Chains A and B, each alone.
Chain A
Amino acid sequence: MTDPVLDIRNLKVDFATRRGTAHVLDDVSFSVAPGELLAIVGESGCGKSMTALSVLGLIPSPPGKVVGGSILFQGRDLTKLRPSEMRKIRGGDIAMIFQEPMTSLNPVFTCGEQIAEAVRLHQKVSPRAAFARAVDMLRAVGIPEPELRARAYPHQLSGGMRQRVMIAMALSCEPKLLIADEPTTALDVTVQAQIFGLLDELRQKTGTAIVLITHDMGAVAEMADKVAVMYAGRVIERGPADAVLDDPGHPYTRGLLASIPRVDADPDTDLPEIPGIVPALTDLGRGCAFAPRCPLAVDACHAAQPRHVAMTGDHSAACIQLEPREVPA
């Protein structure tokens, strides 16, 4: 097994809020190897995007602060780098694409200029060469007439095209790691499939590791090598995609998978849902954050944070039900 590109260990991020300290990320650990695609899934507000922003050192600070753990990127701990060192990594070795292609590009610069800027920030090339590189990248992400589009302003392109421009920009410096934060949420279904296809193709071509944050379980099943399920700032289950999807260990993961609409389901039965809402991150109890909504919760769930229990191989989940019980005599 190759060394992981990204290895996050016990990451803790706190946010100071008016209602006290919010533990936005607590004991988050996972790793990604070169060419691998890790999917992070979970409800809104569970810390997926915050994990991504932490890796790039872009959490708004104040109020946010990394209070513990490490983010090892190619062996270097990103949490300990100086701002200038971090800037070199951002957009160079680690690139990111965002949810909102409609607003993620600067309206006053052409698409080509914006890609060329990324190139020039990380490579010593002439403006002309950088622009030529931008055109090449636009071609690589499947934009027709790239020479023309490079001179277009963002408002002249559709949402799908803009997301392709974002991807072209992210990949222009051949990053070792690409973080895609719900890259298809704002797009049409047909365009979603194209974008996912493009990401998968580029990963296989360039060997870039991808962290994909998504709601789309279909995409996870199709593309992901590994999955991390997050709930209330914690990774509650992680492992190879097949194992997690076929044999989920955590009741939350099971609920999440059960609530995906299926074409072959009986149209008269209601879609199962997980009752309740995600708890406020400022007043998490001592116990399992999912316990108040969990159909299997017992008293012990509210008492202490469950540990990750290995299931098969790398597959583990943090649920008390999986812990070996003392068999009564």
Chain B
Amino acid sequence: MFRRILRQLLYAAALILAVLVLNFLLIQLAPGDPAEVIAGEMGGASAEVMAAIRQQYGLDKPLLTQLGLYLGRALQGDLGMSYFYNRPVVDLILSRLGPTMLLVATALGFALIVGTRLGMLASRNPRGIASALVTVLSLVGYSAPVFWTGLMLVILFGATIPLFPIAGMIDVVKQGGLLSRVLDIAHHLVLPALTLGLVYLAQYSRLTRASMLEVLGADYIRTARAKGVSERQVFGRHAFRNALLPVVTVAGMQFGAIISGAVLVETVFSWPGLGTLAFQSILARDYPTVLGILFFSTLIVIIANLLTDFVSRLLDPRLAGGR
């Protein structure tokens, strides 16, 4: 157990290093010169000023030296200064990480809880109305792109039935205590989380339904019925936990995709998270920030995978290994 965890952590560290190097090289291949962008922000500059900017940010050094310096600082927790915001990248990202994680966690939680429930409901009667509804819903949810769903929800709840705010995370004019602030954030969270969650809800309900139908045909379900377990318990206890295994695996693998989905959703809803930051940083050729965001996303995906592995082992004793 301990050795396995250690091995996994070592893999994760190697992966992070590889990602740092690859991202750094990848960004260098992209067209555009950050010095020009910075100079542009300053309203134009002479050749001497451009050279000074290059020197200040280390852009005049050979590529390998730049990489070495970057890695050396990164290992000390310093991802450089943002060209655009003129703040340390780490501070910048940490200030945006919270809103993104809140959005992603809410969307994923919503998708997992409602999706698996819907799938279970559909599996009770595979030819019933609930089942047909899940199939149609999941088809629509899966084929509709996130930004389209987002825009539709904005039109519906922003213009037609103005129930939820369509931009930002907090109401700047509102005053009040902690509770009212939490409620305000929750209120703002509804539409972005719904948009991001719907795609995955569709997938998880479909997957749960298929998985449940397979599990319900298993011999141990017949055993459970033969010993007098009620249908409710057969579904909820004996079948559901087994049917959940593939869903957890898929959800874990998709965590990275959800974060990239968050970039789009945050942009649509002006959610002050990593996605909006990534979007703006790319436009501004703010390389240190882009690199920092890529690095943090990698870190989050790696942690999510470790967690998935842990949850899978918790659910399925066969994966836990050993006697």
Please, how many angstroms separate the alpha-carbon atoms of A122 and B226 in the complex?
Answer: 12
- Which of chain A's residues 146-166 have a Cβ closer than 8 Å to chain B? 152-153, 155-156, 166
Instruction: Please tell me if the beta carbons of A108 and B225 are within 8 angstroms of each other in the complex.
Output: no
Give Cα distance in the complex from A58 to B226, angstroms: 8
B220 touches A103 (CB 8 A): yes
CB of A121 within 8 A of CB of B223, answer no
Cα of A155 to Cα of B317 in the assembled complex, Å: 9
Distance of A153 Cα from B223 Cα, bound (Å): 16
Select B226's contact among A90, A107, A110, A155, beta carbons within 8 Å.
A90
The yes or no answer to A80 lying at the interface (CB within 8 A) is no
Total B residues in contact with A, Cβ cutoff 8 Å: 20
A329 to chain B, nearest CB (A): 59
Q: In the bound complex, do residue A153 and residue B219 qualify as a contact, i.e. CB atoms below 8 Å apart?
A: no
The stretch from A92-100, A215-223, A250-258 touching chain B is A92-100
Asked whether A104 lies within 8 Å of B220 as measured between CB atoms, the reply is yes
B220 near A90 (CB under 8 angstroms)?
no
What is the CB-to-nearest-CB distance from A67 to chain B, in angstroms, rounded to a whole number?
22
Most buried by A among B220, B242, B323: B220
Tell whether, in the assembled complex, residue A107 and residue B318 are in contact, meaning their CB atoms are under 8 Å apart: yes
- Least distance between B252 CB and chain A CB atoms (Å): 18
Closest to B238 in A: A106
Chain A residues positioned under 8 Å from B227 (CB to CB)? 90-91, 95, 117-118, 121, 169-170
Residues of B within 8 A of A87 (CB): 228-230
How many residues of chain A have a CB within 8 Å of chain B? Answer: 30
Interface flags for B222-256 (1: CB within 8 Å of A; 0: not) read: 11111111100000001001100000000000000
In the complex, whether B315 has a CB less than 8 A from a CB of chain A is yes
Q: Which residue of A has the minimal Cβ distance to B227?
A: A91
Q: Across the interface, do A103 and B226 meet the contact criterion of CB distance under 8 Å?
A: no
Chain B proximity of A176: nearest CB distance (Å)? 14
Which A residues lie within 8 Å of B318 (CB)? 107, 153, 155
Give 6 CB contacts A-B under 8 Å.
Answer: A103-B219, A104-B223, A105-B220, A117-B227, A118-B227, A169-B227
Give me the 10 closest cross-chain CB pairs, A-B, nearest first: A91-B227, A91-B228, A103-B219, A90-B228, A106-B220, A153-B317, A118-B227, A104-B219, A96-B226, A121-B228
